[in-house]
Each structure stands twice: as C-alpha cells, then as structure tokens.
Amino acid sequence: MKNSDYWLNWEQILTLVLQLSNDFGIDLVLKSRPYPVITLDDYIILGENLNFLKSILMILKIFEDAYVELKPNGCRLYILFTFQR
C-alpha cells in the first residue's frame, strides 16, 4: 500500500471500526485532531474488551506504517494511530 491509499481508505476503515463497536455493544468515542496537510491523529476511547481491542488492532495491521499506542486509564484504553498522507 502506498501512503495515498491510507488517506483514501480512511472512511472505509472508520466505518469498520464503528461497526465493530456496535457488534460488541461498546460505546465508542472518536475524536479527530487534524494537523495541516500531513497527519491525522485519531483517538479511540473504548471500554475494556479484549475481543474488540483485537479486532481494532487487526484493522490497524492493514496499514504498514500505523503507529499504535495503548494507554490504560481506569477501565478505558486509549488507542492512538497516525497516518501519514
């Protein structure tokens, strides 16, 4: 995959993530913080559910350059992934 493919597929990936959250019955909050031109950082905040987390990580593996950071915060996990355009 080329970097441009990441940007083009972003909506599709987001749709899959939201569908997974519905399938697992988890409230998911997505906050976008766009940077000028180059990067898009998204924070997904979800409850403790390992199956859901595994599904998210499997989606992220589609992107070779995806950066994933997990931060336990009480009963929540923060997943940060950045795509270079």
**For 36-83, how does the pLDDT look when each residue is reduced to its tens digit (9 = 90+)?**
222 333 444 444 455 666 666 666 665 544 444 444 544 444 455 554
The packing angle between helices 3-23 and 50-60, to 10°, is 160
The C-alpha atoms of residue 70 and residue 61 are separated, in whole angstroms, by 15
For residue 18, the domain's CATH number is: 3.30.70
Q: Which two tokens stand for residue 77?
A: 């996990």
Prediction pTM value: 0.32
pLDDT of residue 38: 24
Q: Which domain range does residue 57 map to?
A: 3-84
Q: What are 18-36's pLDDT values in tens digits?
A: 676 666 555 544 444 443 2
The C-alpha atoms of residue 70 and residue 85 are separated, in whole angstroms, by 23
pLDDT score of 3 more than 60: no
Number of domain units in the chain:
1
pLDDT of residue 34: 40
